[in-house]
Structure 1
């Protein structure tokens, strides 16, 4: 393992991750730096941390955050979940046994320079979630759907035919190498800043008309979640129900995954930050207030409110063979089409 980084500016989330890495966890937690991002006169690490069985034949769940530097709450939610799991390892024999049969990955800060700068984009002005080499073939929102005009404007994709940004390429390489070999895998990418409700999105972001190949699997996962936790308030649907974009990383990775026989289901959590603004309009006086709960009690509520979802995805991954092979697959497909593609 490489030595922790140092930065001349306060970066509490990175400091939290590096404190976790330095703690002894009886060999349970493994970490690596998947890339280092040049920032002024220093290098910022992008960490990947792993709990559980490293055998590529076991199912795998991955929690991602910090793709957009302004959305710090996603990083904090992922770190809080990781810290809770590490505490359980000190006493929870059942959880220690679970780790023999599943692998859990954490990438809490994909865009460290953006987070340090309080910007959505990375240090090159590129929106990493518009940076993949995949285009929408339906009309997208002006600018917000991704553009190549200038990095001075938000949602900039980068230059045409240029390589992906270092952070985006490192994330894609990690998913391809560490996640794709698993027979079944889920990803939860944590974001904030859209709407009043918490939303769970799945591909595609490039088309309102084209369902993904594994639509019935996503539909049954949704049904499992709704039936197991009927009092939750998540909206579960394709991203295309809201807007279309060019360059979506999860569209790109999902399309890549179709070359394998395994099932790869990437989900995006969009935390409804407009609720925090409605309850505390004064937080709009600071840029972070658009994407992050400012008052401590609301921050604590958010940090605990998504733990049920994250725990559900862990157990759904662990037990995928119990629910994945369904005799009513055709019925599920029709249900999903009626629900999301009427």
Structure 2
């Protein structure tokens, strides 16, 4: 990464140049598509998607997304690191080769290149992409943070009522529709960094305290993570446990799924207060609120979360073996409601 940082032209940024380098290396292994182009201040950035694995439309798939918020660079760095790891392993790891004959991996590491280039949470139009879907919360949202229509000069701006979704949001949803929810089983992991001392894994809904139809599947996935990595530090819960929000893209994508398809979208929220506590001076930098600044802490973060990405890819591969059915599914639904909803209401 240091070499890339030193070589970045003024018309680009480090993560974008790193992505192009990874895609150049991956050209033999991955199918690479430019799904759109974002223009800002006379600069044009392609929005790339890379896929790896089987082309069977009925095979399980998992999508990895990052860079929806331009200030949260660590999510993009995590996906780029994982892509490098996979490309290296494909040279010798026969088990990975076998795994990819049965699943499909989809990578969209920089959804919002204009925001990342200009070092802002929103896209170049001042709109927060995670508040931009055409839906509203079913309860009270936190002021501003839950999504607002006052104006783009304040954070968390949703956009004008009735306006089309922003290009970046529409591109993400198109990839989700074409690569993921059209399949019988699919997963998504959207990588962010946010306030808190804990790393969290959130799932829909953000708009409502109602539970999703695939709550038993989420419960089974959590139980598998707990069993496979008993010392992990993730808080695994619906986003609504923390707060409600308007316009969540993953709520919108999830509601477009039709039975009997199973779609399990997850959001990784890496707790940025962990890095700030270790290095309070990084608050003096704009990106310091959302990213580890020192190199050794960045490396530690990348190491800590790579196991999660690998776990989810294996869970997709093994989906026929663990997806709950029949009375087992009903039992898991009851346990999940007790864990995530009834205790909170009490």
Q: Paired residue for 2:274?
A: 275
**Distance in 1 of aligned mates of 2:178 and 2:35:** 11
**Distance in 2 of aligned mates of 1:107 and 1:75:** 9
Offset, 1:42: 2.5
**Distance in 2 of aligned mates of 1:8 and 1:285:** 23
Q: Paired residue for 1:3?
A: none
**Distance in 1 of aligned mates of 2:329 and 2:175:** 31
Q: Deviations over 1:279-334 (max 9, x none)?
A: 11011010111000011111100011101111110000010000003442121111
- Of the structure 1 ranges 174-183 and 61-70, higher mean CA displacement relative to structure 2 is found in 174-183
Residues 279-318 of structure 1 aligned to structure 2 (within 5 Å): 279-318=278-317
Unaligned segments of structure 2, at least 5 residues: 1-7
**Distance in 2 of aligned mates of 1:162 and 1:10:** 29
Query: Would the aligned equivalents of 1:200 and 1:268 in 2 still touch at CA under 8 Å?
Result: yes
Query: Would the aligned equivalents of 1:7 and 1:42 in 2 still touch at CA under 8 Å?
Result: no
**Distance in 1 of aligned mates of 2:97 and 2:61:** 16
Offset, 1:7: 6.5
**Distance in 2 of aligned mates of 1:42 and 1:288:** 21
Local SS of the residue matching 2:291:
coil
Offset, 1:220: 0.7
Q: Deviations over 1:231-276 (max 9, x none)?
A: 111000000011110000000000011x242101100000011011
Q: Paired residue for 1:191?
A: 192
**Distance in 2 of aligned mates of 1:193 and 1:217:** 26
Q: Deviations over 1:123-165 (max 9, x none)?
A: 0000000000111010101111101110000000000000000
TM-score (norm 2): 0.94
Local SS of the residue matching 1:251:
helix
Query: Would the aligned equivalents of 1:25 and 1:86 in 2 still touch at CA under 8 Å?
Result: no
Local SS of the residue matching 1:266:
strand
Q: Paired residue for 1:139?
A: 140
Structure 1 residues 24, 166: CA separation in 2 closer, same or farther (over 3 Å shift)?
Answer: closer
**Distance in 2 of aligned mates of 1:140 and 1:287:** 26
Local SS of the residue matching 2:255:
helix
**Distance in 1 of aligned mates of 2:256 and 2:182:** 12
**Distance in 2 of aligned mates of 1:249 and 1:181:** 17
Tell me if 1:15 matches 2:14.
no
Tell me if 1:322 matches 2:321.
yes
Offset, 1:179: 1.0
Offset, 1:9: 2.9
Query: Would the aligned equivalents of 2:128 and 2:158 in 1 still touch at CA under 8 Å?
Result: yes
**Distance in 2 of aligned mates of 1:25 and 1:117:** 28
Q: Paired residue for 2:231?
A: 231
TM-score (norm 1): 0.95
Query: Would the aligned equivalents of 1:73 and 1:192 in 2 still touch at CA under 8 Å?
Result: yes
Offset, 1:23: 2.4
Offset, 1:10: 4.0
**Distance in 2 of aligned mates of 1:176 and 1:330:** 28
Local SS of the residue matching 1:271:
strand
**Distance in 1 of aligned mates of 2:57 and 2:260:** 14
- Of the structure 1 ranges 158-167 and 320-329, higher mean CA displacement relative to structure 2 is found in 320-329
Q: Paired residue for 1:92?
A: 93
Unaligned segments of structure 1, at least 5 residues: 1-5
Residues 136-175 of structure 1 aligned to structure 2 (within 5 Å): 136-175=137-176
Local SS of the residue matching 2:44:
strand
| RMSD across aligned positions (CA) | 1.2
Structure 1 residues 7, 295: CA separation in 2 closer, same or farther (over 3 Å shift)?
Answer: closer
Q: Deviations over 1:184-232 (max 9, x none)?
A: 1110000002210000000000112x00000011001000100111011
**Distance in 1 of aligned mates of 2:43 and 2:144:** 32
